Homo-oligomer: A and B are copies of this chain.
Amino acid sequence: MKDSVGLPPGSLIHIGTKTSSPIQIHVIDYTKDHFEEKSVQNITECFPFRDTESITWITIDGIHDAGLIDSIGKHFGVHPIVLEDIMNTSQRPKMEIFDTYIYLVFKMLYRNESNHDIQAEQVSIILGKNFVISFQEDPGDIFDPIRQRIRTGKGRIRTMGADYLAYSLFDAVVDNYFIILEDIGEAIELVEDQILGNSEPETVRAIQTLKSDMIFLRKSIWPLREVVNCLMRGDSKLISKATGIYLRDVYDHTFQVIDTIETYRDMISGLFDIYMSSVSNKLNEVMKILTIFTTIFIPLTFVAGVYGMNFNSDASPLNMPELRWYFGYPMILTIMLLITLVMIWYFKRKKWI
């Protein structure tokens, strides 16, 4: 955010991971009977679609070109402050209803295959009458099944409006959260097994990573509830009643995702408890071994020490007569053995060994 401090509101400054890859623009235009799809070089090629009756879906992969965003904004009548939000990848999920369009922004989540980090990509959607414009940070997304459905005309998508298309995008993103959560669920189980097996100090780090993952997920997903709720309430005439029923479904899914996040949070904070109790148990075990050894050998060493004293047997017959007994040495060894046995019996009774 640092970069934008001090700039006038509505300044189109890209905030996010810098990239210089070329921006890709993709247009899909369809009605029940008609389908057209193309990649365009120049955004102006998309503009004629605005005024047709057919549904148009424009995908912009790359949000770092202020000029492009600005010209889209001007042509489709989008408020500068919305354009600023589109270019700023640190948005909180939210929805804003304007007279002629709805602005939706949320996070598409990926789990990095190699290091299991969770990565977020911001998706902005402008839903207008007959058109949907979706903005992403990078090429590549999870919307291919939707494109396929439009192409083949499978399901209801070709027969319904732009609001249903926007819903489908949203639904795909929420469905994808379940996959992320299942991955995390497996990671939690893995860490749990680690703790009960061995519990290295690194385990704390693993727990901590899971914790921040959950904090991150929560921050990304929690506000969605309000967003969908707001869409469902039908404050905008851009959302038809038929689509409303589907939104109710995505609302339930959002709730389920949030439920799972809360459950995982509980489980992860439980992990820390198990870890700490496992550390305590180990300390206890170490202490027991030390205590057993020390308490067995210390009296024995003392006995040996006593008979190592140099009392002069010439000076007095009272001075350590045992040293001069015939069975002195075996007797002392037997005494030592008895002490050891008593100790072992004691620890057995205490259930230490």
Contacts and interface: CB of A to CB of B under 8 A. Distances in A.
Contacts of A319: 323, 328-329
B308 A304 contact: yes
B283 A287 contact: yes
Interface string A277-289: 1111111101111
Nearest to A192: B208
A157 B8 contact: yes
A297 interface: yes
Contacts of A302: 297, 300-301, 304
Contact of A179 (B5, B91, B270): B5
A176 interface: yes
Nearest to A319: B329
Interface string A233-248: 0000000000001101
A342 interface: no
A332 interface: yes
Contacts of A293: 291, 294-295, 298-299
A277 B81 contact: no
A223 to B, nearest CB: 8
A66 to B, nearest CB: 15
A10 interface: yes
A96 interface: yes
Contact of A198 (B5, B8, B351): B351
A8 B154 contact: yes
A252 to B, nearest CB: 6
B287 A290 contact: yes
Contacts of A42: none
Contacts of A305: 300-301, 304-305, 308
Contacts of A91: 252, 256
A277 B182 CA distance: 28
Contacts of A306: 304
Nearest to A290: B291
B8 A156 contact: yes
Interface in A32-77: none
A316 B301 contact: no
A175 B13 CA distance: 14
Given A6-B172, A92-B255, A312-B328, 12 more contacts: A1-B175, A5-B175, A79-B245, A279-B284, A283-B283, A287-B287, A293-B299, A301-B302, A304-B306, A305-B305, A309-B323, A319-B329
